[in-house]
Amino acid sequence: MNITEKILARAAGLKEVQPGEIIEAQVDLAMTHDGTSPPTIKTFRQMAKRVWDPERIVIVYDHNVPANNQGSAEFQRITREFAREQGIKNIYTHGEGICHQVLPEKGYIKPGMVVVGADSHTCTYGAFGAFATGMGATDMAAIFASGQTWFMVPFAYKIRVQGTLGKFVTAKDVILNIIGKIGSDGATYKSLEFCGDTIDSMDVSGRMTMNNMAIESGAKNGIMEPNLNTLSYLEERKVSGFDIIHSDIDSTYEREYEFQVDDLEPQLACPHNVDNVKPVSKTLGTHIDQAVIGSCTNGRLEDLRIAAEVLGDKHVHDDVRLIIVPASRQIYLDAMEEGMIETFLQAGALICNPGCGPCLGAHMGVLTEGEVCVSTTNRNFVGRMGDPHSEIYLANPAVVAYSAIYGEIKDPRE
């Protein structure tokens, strides 16, 4: 069996499972945020009176923090009262950060876990060798009530990545290149297992970025076997009591892909699909009105370091709004300590509180008709950041920062 099949077999109490098989699995951790908690709670009330285990539920306010309208404030009130009623102590209400950054940062994620979240980018936790996937509010309500859910065991794609990334070429470019080849629906309900020497040497931030965007190819989950960087990350957070699960040498895959990244240039997902991927050389000169560095994809400390290096003592172009959103409070504090926040402010950037911010077009950085944004976020669908007649390009932090200086898409390798 491969790593995903082994985790699901153990969660279902079975010796082995086969792709396509329907199983009932025990859930190790369930997560909701301020946007998905109220519909989950509403459905839960029709099923049960008490959650199955308040210690295994984590709630994070991140989509509209602080509340940007009356509806958001009401959602947060409902969620806060439910957590108090149910004895859910693991709730972060005051801008701790984006759920997909907060959970690993606070030590909730372990290799081998089954993690479900009422958010599609829950697959981020595959970076730690966990089976992690997103679900809707109805399914999450059933998990809140029972601690169990059903899965169809996914067929797996093996994605081997080899080579060394060049200067200002990042994990974001690797995953965009992969999605460009596979397609936005090319891995629907598949398990993407990433491996190869590039993955083995990749830092935790990059690994999270790649698994975060597995869903953008339609995948059920992305997953990697933990490397030394992952184990160090877990040790720093005093995470223990886990087994590292490996795929068998003779495990089978529905498809296998090979990617060589030695000569990879920065990649951009062009409007209006994540699989509309082009190298930066094919997008040079595109005028931009807004640049965003942040999100659960690229709002980590390593991303901010890249942006600060590119900006240096330069200033953002007069036509551009550069918005920087640290993925968590801890990242914000670390960026302050390293002097990056001052660099950003001196450059003319706007620094927003930790959260999802502009990514979903609901809170800060909304685009109007005809505006163009280059962003480190994970989706560029029509209307994603506001007006349906605006456009979004997805790129790595170096491309976004460098483009912000010149008011047009530029190659930071210059």
Q: Which residue has the tokens 């240039």?
A: 265
Residue 234 tokens, joined: 């877990």
DSSP 342-404: HHHHHHT-EEPPSS-GGGGTSSS--B-TT-EEEESSS---TTTTB-TT-EEEE--HHHHHHHH
Same-fold call for 3-259 versus 268-406:
yes
Q: Which residue has the tokens 């994540």?
A: 274
Per-residue model confidence (pLDDT) at position 341 = 97
* pLDDT < 50 positions in the chain: none
The whole-angstrom distance between residue 302's C-alpha and the CA centroid of its chain comes to: 15
Per-residue model confidence (pLDDT) at position 182 = 96
Domains of the chain by residue range: 3-259, 268-406
Its pTM stands at 0.93
* Residue-wise pLDDT tens digits, 77-110: 999 999 999 999 999 999 999 999 999 999 999 9
Residue 48 tokens, joined: 């049960």
Which stretches of 9-139 are assigned E, i.e. beta strand?
22-26, 29-33, 57-60, 91-92, 114-117, 131-134
Per-residue model confidence (pLDDT) at position 39 = 96
Give the Cα separation of 392 and 307 in Å (integer).
19
Share of residues in the chain with pLDDT > 70 (%): 100
Class of the CATH domain delimited by 3-259: alpha beta
* Residue-wise pLDDT tens digits, 175-196: 999 999 999 999 999 999 999 9
Per-residue model confidence (pLDDT) at position 199 = 97
Superfamily of chain region 268-406: Aconitase, domain 3 (3.30.499.10)
Per-residue model confidence (pLDDT) at position 386 = 86
